[in-house]
Structure 1
Amino acid sequence: MAGGRTAAASGGDDAGKAHHQHQPPRASSSSMAAPTSTSSLLLAFACTLVVTAVAYSNSYHGKFVFDDLPAIQQNADVDSSKTSVLDVFNDNFWGERMDAHDAQHESYRPLTTLTFRWGHDIHGMNETGFHITNVAMHTIASCLVVVMTPLVIDAPTTPELVLVGSLFAAHPIHTEAVTGLVGRAELLSAIFFIASFLAYTRASKYVGDIKAAATWVAISVALATAAMLSKEQGVTVVGVCLAYELLVNCNLNPIALLLRARSAKGTKRPGGGRRPKVAVSGPSQQQKKDRSSPWITVSTGAVVRLLLLLVLSAIVMKYRVSLNKVHIKVDEKTNPANHMESFVFRSLTKNLYVTLHAWLLIFPLWLCCDWSAGAVPSVTSASDPRIVYILLFYLALAAVILAALRARSLPKTGDQPLWDNMTLDVHSDTIVVRQNTNADPLSVHLITDKPYIGFCLLLIIGARVLAGNRPLHWRSYAAALLALVVAAYSFRTHTRNEDWKDELSLYRSGLIAAPTNAKLHHNAAYYMSGEEQEHHFREAIRLYPPYVSAYINLGVNLAKAGRIDEAIETYRSGLAMHYKHPIYSTDVGVIHRNLGYAYMRKGNLNAALEQFKACLHVRTDRTRCHQMVQHLEQQIAQQQQQQQQQQQHSGSSKGRGSESRSGGDDGGDSQFREKVEHVGGERLARLRREKSGTMVMFYAPWCNHCRAMHTDYIKAKGRLNSPVVAVDCTQQEELCKDQGVTGYPTLRLLGETRQEDVEYTGNREADDVVAFVIDKTRRNRN
């Protein structure tokens, strides 16, 4: 008898003799369930592969979107010709040094970056290659879910294995990780997560062989480390292994513990002694049994496994925490709940996020690439009806957990279809749990930790509940219902893939699900034009007034449209809001710089100088601002000198004085714009493709040397048959930066690519420019 149970009750007549006999190592709890046949697993794998292929058949041609751009396309660590492998382990997920003072993230996922790097070595920046790899990883993760199912659900049938794999593969919420390329971190972490759990269950099979068990625990922790280095949340598999050890191998029974504690508390008198038992309604036979049975039974092997798991995991976690050398502040836009003053409403808002995600598991209709920036309005009032949803969710979750825990205390009967009793066999110092259950409390932990895995397993358990001891056709109904769910999920996944084909489609779909997300309005506007673009920039500002980037981009577009006064007002509003409500990581120097350019176009050089000087105090990259300060100071000094000369010779030089430029004169810039075509990036690219021998001048209206050359450049245009164009770098700042323009004016004869351009460095007279173009064009033809 062990723990109040006889050998007969444990299901083995020879159990009592185990103390006196030497036995070879044998399987513990996880190995006692009936093994799943290889044919069943292979069929489930095949079906999972087919479902994945069909659901993601339209995902292979999507472009780099959203976080794919900084994490892959613009990340130097992905290109082996730019960085070494060691850089991958020194940088965060976005290619920034982990110890950099201006780092924006503490995301450390070197294994995921390595897979991007290897992919780039094979197929370059071809999006299709990255998409194929993501789909393959998702297929592997789905098959691993099938492998772990027998550890959670007792003796799963072949249809159940097929449905688990198909449900996990088809769930639309995975499109964010599969079709969104940067989501590979989730996929890789999931693969290592499940592999780590499987390795730990393998360790628990070795009873009496401490060395073999320790080896498998070490392998499990190594895989958990790999999961963490793929995405930080992967380390939570350690908690899953801990729960498995306690709930399954050690037969932890929380209800028995609570009943025993309540019994001990209820029978004590305040003054000492015991209260007399009430004869009317005494405890039930099952409660008496629970109070007398152990609430946990721990073997030597379990102690060794637990200690090794915890010690190794602590070492890994200490290493990971040591990498966070810079404290990263999360701004209000990214996580508004963290910035709420009220603890109660802050907690309610965070739990609302959990409730929403649980709802999306069941009805994945409103999917969004970004749930930050006010996508889910915060709970700010006790009368908010969404509080009811939070309560209902946690009541349902508590009911599932209690049902799972109570299953350990219920007697095994023919009308108990969900969780049968767990019987115990005692062999030496090891308790072996033979799972007669359809599910154990571990599945509940998977719901809270890896929701998609737990959700799929609970659907299978729900199907068993529906079938129960009912006629056979009920099982057919349950299977048909789940097959219908798989089909619906596959269709939703297929349609969701279309949202990820390009940036604008992704943001438009996000605005349908989260119309209050200021970040999505801003990002969508970036790919729009005209009134629609202006509307979304203004909507982003309305939803989140401190959104400096929205002020910047709105101002730039207004300036390009010639609405300089509105652009100035927009920049000034952005500055006022920033200094009233500063947001971490915002480079307000960009507004100062853009406002300086806007004042220059209005001819207010003193105001422009003031803004560029302000830019020097706040901007990280001060080179351009410093150049502008020097140019403006020189220009203002020249104007002051000219004004002094006019005042000294006002009597004899009125005619000449009237020709000197005032601060509001554009120096002939308007005439230059009329005579010479001004181009942007698209027109410049088209001229390159046409191979027309185009001459281009990159200039700035404030540049004296540029203005001095306007007349000769116009003359050269009239004498050349090939295109002669200009680029105003104060309006096309990013274009000039991309073209490598460092001084004004810069004259180039365009080639097919930037590297083939020929820069003109001769005299700035029309004859010399014309001769240069004719000579170079003739050579190219020959």
Structure 2
Amino acid sequence: MSSRSRAKGAGPLSDEPISAPTSAPSHIAPWRTHARRLLLPWTLALLAYLNSFGAGFVYDNRVAILDDSRVHALTAANLHAIWTQDTWGDGATSGNYRPLTNSTYLLNYAILGNGTSPFGYHCFNLLLHLANILLLYLCCLHLFNHRDPKGDPAGALALAAAALFSVHPLLTETVTNIVGRADMLAAFGILAGLLCHIRAGSATGRSRTLWLTGVSAAVAIGIFSKENAVVVLAAMLLYDLGYRPKAWRSSLAGYVAACVPLAAFFVLRYVFLSPLMDRLPDMGDNPLLSADFLTGRATALLVLGKYLWLLVFPVALSPDYSYNQIPLASWTSPAVLAPLAICIAIAALTLAAFRTRKHVFFFAAFFLVALAPVANIFILIGTIMGERLLYLPVMAFAACLAVAIHRFARHRYALPAAVGVFCTLYAARTFARNRDWHDEISLWSSAAQVSPGSYRVHDRLAYYLTLQSPPDASAIQRETDRTVAILDTLAPRDAEPNPYINAAAWYRNHGDPHRALALLQRAASIVEAKSAELVRLNRAHHKSAVATGDPLLHAELARTYSALGDRPAAAAEFQLARQLRPDPAYSSELAAEYLAAGDWRAAALALLEGLLLDPDQTALAAPYAEFYRQNDPTSCAISNGALNTNCPAVHEQLCQASRTVVQIDLALGRTAQAASVRALCRE
């Protein structure tokens, strides 16, 4: 290209094809140049996420961090539990084995001392995001050829891609949402593994060994953080097909190095998770699980269209798309056919670019590859749609967008100007979106505007509104009724009981126990259906599972029966609740029911049973003694102001209580506690 044509055209960022590198680029800028460039996307990310540090433990963060005792102390037992259990560590499994992600929560909570303060967790997430920006930049340097030593267009394009990625608003659910860390760690492993594979292909001797070791280490980080890191093999294959199709012999070692941690992961996942009881798939999270094959795939394509729209226009964002935000679709719907046509066009573009534009081939194909594991087309996952799942595809999208701007630029400043506009808009939306993640009320209030069809959005908003002081009664009633109306359209097996239990508690507390009872009866039918399905699922996998009830359901039934004046039914439900969960509150409430019915001895027995179930609950001893002071002051039960266990009346109750408690402990698998309680009574 002549100097005259360069001045009139795009200069060093012209729209001519960028040829593929054969081994290493002909011009490599000094590391200081790259460091200066990286200051731009890093600064953009820091500014965009500056207000994310005040976000609390919202959404799944409380369950994954604050409620998971495995990450609260650095002990051998906790490490063993993290690396031998499902992600959620509740004795069951849905196939999610992400021990490295859980270990980073342990790092934050116990080692770095962040504990219950979210600031340190957000710092970790942002640092990880900055690392991924660096890796994307380095990948782009290899994939965009350094065609012009003076202008270094590869560096400019790599910078543009990194900048566009750094502040894309879709990433807030991954960066600001602490548990989005799993997707960032997986992306880190994929990009780092790809880079090491690229370098290993042209290295020799000890250097080659080190790069191959880097492949194994990077892939291990990715796969033990989240399962979708397996696409690293596809990324490596795409690179080799496009950039070194005749160097398979030198590339083979990279695949071997990647397969070692992948094989280890799947073996450990099988060994540790296969004995665990299977958890029921949540039809509310992913309605495609209950749809027929063709309807499910049509709906998955509709969701894919929503993903494509959010990539281009990331304005209406939501943390949840549960039932029935995305109704099942048919193949005749334009909303299904349009994304199908777009995917076919992307595939055609990928094939057309294979020979002449290797970078377009790679990133277009990688976009499809990154979407494949989470698109519900080839395999069904736990959610119908989730913005956090797009962290990796956004990387490919950002690179393609940078190339597209460069391709159609007609002025040397067109690329930086266009990227600047995009980044400004992206950063502003990201900054605004971070405010939604500040607390549960702000998050679910925002979600209710974007996902009004999701039952979980209304259920969570109603629940957290009840915790406000003073609560907004009209808003709670509105959100509660919306939740129930959506779930009422599901069969009991596919619905969730907790929203009905929450709604029943609301109606009971506001003077309508009859409505509460109707809601609880619906919840009971759901629990029964899901328990039967749980047993069937595990038997099909040759596992044992026992159909149990829901303690929250029985406790709320007890309170509702109490409000209706049915004391015997209330007492029976509290007993059932306590059998499933030995909560001292249930013993206190059970005692209150007996006392209201005029049976103070039964009330005293309930308190004594609660004390035996949990000896640390010494607060139950005082009302027990008070019952005897008020109702049998001449009894030997109280001696010197304390309970006299040698008193025949007390001893008789102790033996009676121990028999009940031993049965409860044995049913819960607490054999040691049962033996201790049994030893208290020597008849």
1: distance between equivalents of 2:293 and 2:36?
A: 51
2: distance between equivalents of 1:509 and 1:117?
A: 31
- The secondary structure found in structure 2 opposite 1:230 is coil
Distance 1:400 1:742, change over 3 A: farther
- Equivalent of 1:602, from 554, 559, 564? 564
Aligned to 1:348: 298
Q: Is the 8 A contact 2:459 2:479 kept in 1?
A: yes
Distance 1:84 1:577, change over 3 A: closer
2:188 pairs with 1:191: yes
Q: Is the 8 A contact 1:44 1:161 kept in 2?
A: no
- Equivalent of 1:56, from 29, 49, 68? 49
Per the TM alignment, residue 702 of structure 1 is displaced from its structure 2 partner at its CA by: 7.3
Alignment of 1:520-539 (within 5 A): 520-528=457-465, 529=471, 530-539=473-482
Aligned to 1:86: 80
Alignment of 1:316-395 (within 5 A): 316-325=265-274, 326=276, 327-340=278-291, 342-379=292-329, 381-395=330-344
Per the TM alignment, residue 214 of structure 1 is displaced from its structure 2 partner at its CA by: 5.1
Per the TM alignment, residue 170 of structure 1 is displaced from its structure 2 partner at its CA by: 0.6
Aligned to 1:136: 127
1: distance between equivalents of 2:260 and 2:102?
A: 28
Distance 1:93 1:167, change over 3 A: same
Per the TM alignment, residue 129 of structure 1 is displaced from its structure 2 partner at its CA by: 1.8
Distance 1:210 1:761, change over 3 A: farther
Per the TM alignment, residue 362 of structure 1 is displaced from its structure 2 partner at its CA by: 1.3
Distance 1:312 1:192, change over 3 A: closer
2: distance between equivalents of 1:628 and 1:761?
A: 13
Q: Is the 8 A contact 2:169 2:430 kept in 1?
A: yes
- The secondary structure found in structure 1 opposite 2:446 is helix
1: distance between equivalents of 2:307 and 2:159?
A: 25
2: distance between equivalents of 1:586 and 1:500?
A: 36
- Equivalent of 1:541, from 484, 495, 498? 484
Distance 1:743 1:565, change over 3 A: farther
Higher share in helix: 2
Q: Is the 8 A contact 2:140 2:157 kept in 1?
A: no
Q: Which amino acid aligns with 2:199?
A: R
Q: Is the 8 A contact 1:179 1:497 kept in 2?
A: yes
Alignment of 1:103-142 (within 5 A): 103-120=92-109, 121=111, 122-142=113-133
Q: Which amino acid aligns with 1:461?
A: V
Q: Which amino acid aligns with 1:89?
A: W
2: distance between equivalents of 1:443 and 1:566?
A: 55
Q: Which amino acid aligns with 1:235?
A: V
Distance 1:760 1:59, change over 3 A: farther
2: distance between equivalents of 1:765 and 1:561?
A: 34
- The secondary structure found in structure 1 opposite 2:283 is coil
Deviations 1:151-200 (A, max 9, x none): 22222344333322211111111111111111122222222221111111
Q: Which runs of 5+ in 2 are unaligned?
A: 1-19, 147-152, 371-391, 466-470, 489-494, 535-546, 608-612, 634-640, 642-683
Q: Is the 8 A contact 1:60 1:131 kept in 2?
A: yes
- Equivalent of 1:569, from 513, 518, 523? 518
Per the TM alignment, residue 371 of structure 1 is displaced from its structure 2 partner at its CA by: 2.4
- The secondary structure found in structure 1 opposite 2:413 is helix
Alignment of 1:603-682 (within 5 A): 603-608=565-570, 611=573, 620-621=580-581, 667=596
Aligned to 1:477: 414
Deviations 1:734-759 (A, max 9, x none): xxx999768868559xxxxxxxxxx9
2: distance between equivalents of 1:570 and 1:352?
A: 33
2: distance between equivalents of 1:136 and 1:574?
A: 44
Deviations 1:127-169 (A, max 9, x none): 1122122212211111221111112222234433332221111
Give the length in aligned residue pairs: 557
Aligned to 2:432: 495
2: distance between equivalents of 1:85 and 1:590?
A: 31
Distance 1:622 1:125, change over 3 A: closer
Q: Is the 8 A contact 2:562 2:570 kept in 1?
A: yes
- The secondary structure found in structure 1 opposite 2:303 is helix
Q: Is the 8 A contact 1:88 1:113 kept in 2?
A: yes
2: distance between equivalents of 1:95 and 1:385?
A: 42
2:451 pairs with 1:519: no
- Equivalent of 2:216, from 215, 218, 221? 221
Distance 1:230 1:604, change over 3 A: same
Distance 1:198 1:446, change over 3 A: farther
Aligned to 1:454: 396
Per the TM alignment, residue 33 of structure 1 is displaced from its structure 2 partner at its CA by: 5.2
1: distance between equivalents of 2:571 and 2:628?
A: 32
**Residue identity (%):** 23
Measured on the aligned residues, the alpha-carbon RMSD in Å equals 4.0
1: distance between equivalents of 2:163 and 2:252?
A: 37
Distance 1:706 1:764, change over 3 A: farther
Per the TM alignment, residue 309 of structure 1 is displaced from its structure 2 partner at its CA by: 4.3
Q: Is the 8 A contact 1:92 1:109 kept in 2?
A: yes
Deviations 1:522-557 (A, max 9, x none): 011001241211221221121122331111011111
- The structure that has the greater radius of gyration is 1
1: distance between equivalents of 2:272 and 2:630?
A: 56
2:169 pairs with 1:172: yes
TM-score (norm 2): 0.72
1: distance between equivalents of 2:156 and 2:363?
A: 22
Q: Is the 8 A contact 2:321 2:454 kept in 1?
A: yes
1: distance between equivalents of 2:219 and 2:599?
A: 60
1: distance between equivalents of 2:414 and 2:598?
A: 78
Per the TM alignment, residue 445 of structure 1 is displaced from its structure 2 partner at its CA by: 1.6
Deviations 1:343-400 (A, max 9, x none): 2111111222222222211111121112233332221x34433123222322332232
Per the TM alignment, residue 626 of structure 1 is displaced from its structure 2 partner at its CA by: 9.8
Per the TM alignment, residue 243 of structure 1 is displaced from its structure 2 partner at its CA by: 2.3
Most deviating of 301-310 and 70-79: 301-310
1: distance between equivalents of 2:225 and 2:289?
A: 26
2: distance between equivalents of 1:486 and 1:70?
A: 34
Per the TM alignment, residue 46 of structure 1 is displaced from its structure 2 partner at its CA by: 0.8
Q: Is the 8 A contact 2:53 2:123 kept in 1?
A: yes
Q: Is the 8 A contact 2:189 2:221 kept in 1?
A: yes
Q: Which amino acid aligns with 2:169?
A: P
Per the TM alignment, residue 588 of structure 1 is displaced from its structure 2 partner at its CA by: 4.0
Q: Which amino acid aligns with 2:171?
A: H
Q: Is the 8 A contact 1:172 1:489 kept in 2?
A: yes
1: distance between equivalents of 2:287 and 2:616?
A: 39
Deviations 1:291-317 (A, max 9, x none): xxxxxx355323444455446644443
Q: Which runs of 5+ in 1 are unaligned?
A: 1-26, 251-296, 409-418, 420-436, 636-665, 668-700, 709-728, 730-736, 749-758, 773-782
Aligned to 1:268: none
Deviations 1:206-263 (A, max 9, x none): 2xx477545533431221111111222223212211222233222xxxxxxxxxxxxx
Distance 1:532 1:81, change over 3 A: same
Q: Which amino acid aligns with 2:512?
A: R
- The secondary structure found in structure 1 opposite 2:289 is helix
- Equivalent of 1:148, from 136, 139, 154? 139
TM-score (norm 1): 0.64
Most deviating of 525-534 and 598-607: 598-607
Alignment of 1:300-315 (within 5 A): 300-307=249-256, 309-310=258-259, 313-315=262-264
Q: Which amino acid aligns with 2:309?
A: W
Aligned to 1:445: 366
1: distance between equivalents of 2:341 and 2:215?
A: 36
